[in-house]
């Protein structure tokens, strides 16, 4: 009889080591990009992934204004907001949202792919989105994330 015993090590918030990654969104398809970002924020790319602990890394997205959609989504995809009052629902087409708030397209996509709990709200705080190619996080020595 084999007496080897292997234990599954569960990550704790104190033992999690976080890295910083830079993702260039230039020419990337929005949905595929957002799912990869959510994967990294959640920590599923690590062998130490634990569902109830925030094991994810920090993500910096640059060139958020150069993302692309497939098909006719620029004119057809709508982003809905609701003020809470009767008749307070507003719809914005993706093309208009890109002109006003380019970072909101990626932010909405990633937020929808994370858990809707305290844990998910903690994960979204590790996402930094910038319209241009510059970001103020050079001190953290971010490395490019290869998909």
Question: Is it the case that residue 55 has pLDDT exceeding 60?
Answer: yes
| Mean pLDDT (whole number) for 13-27 | 94
Give the distance, in angstroms, between the CA of residue 34 and the centroid of all CA atoms in the same chain. 6
Count of C-beta atoms within a 10 Å radius of residue 76: 11
122, 42 contact by CB (below 8 A): no
Structural domain boundaries in the chain: 20-70+102-144
Phi, psi dihedrals of residue 46, rounded to the nearest 5°: -100, 145
Phi, psi dihedrals of residue 52, rounded to the nearest 5°: -95, 5
Question: Is it the case that residue 5 has pLDDT exceeding 80?
Answer: no
Q: Output the pTM of the full model.
A: 0.90
CATH class of 20-70+102-144: alpha beta
Question: Over the stretch 63-73, which tens digit does the pLDDT of each residue have?
Answer: 999 999 999 99
Q: DSSP of 46-91, one letter per residue?
A: STT--TTS----EEEEE-GGG-B-STTHHHH-EEEEE-SSTT-EEE
| Mean pLDDT (whole number) for 27-50 | 95
27, 68 contact by CB (below 8 A): yes
What integer pLDDT is reported at residue 3 of this predicted model? 64
Question: Is it the case that residue 82 has pLDDT exceeding 60?
Answer: yes
Which of 116, 144, 146, 105 lies closest to 42, judged by CA? Answer: 116
47: CB partners within 8 A, 6+ apart: none
């Amino acid at each position: 009889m084999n007496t080897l015993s292997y234990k599954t090590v569960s990550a704790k918030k104190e033992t999690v080591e976080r890295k910083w990654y830079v993702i260039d969104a230039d020419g990337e398809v929005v949905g595929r990009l957002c799912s990869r970002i959510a994967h990294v924020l959640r920590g599923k790319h690590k062998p130490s992934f634990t569902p109830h602990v925030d094991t994810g890394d920090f993500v910096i997205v640059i060139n958020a204004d150069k993302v692309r959609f497939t098909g006719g989504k620029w004119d057809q995809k709508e982003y809905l907001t609701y003020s809470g009052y009767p008749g307070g629902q507003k719809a914005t087409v993706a093309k208009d949202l890109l002109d006003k708030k380019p970072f909101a397209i990626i932010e909405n996509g990633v937020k929808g792919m994370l858990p809707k709990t305290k844990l998910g709200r903690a994960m979204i705080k590790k996402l930094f989105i910038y319209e241009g190619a510059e970001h103020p996080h050079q001190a953290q020595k971010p490395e490019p994330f290869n998909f």
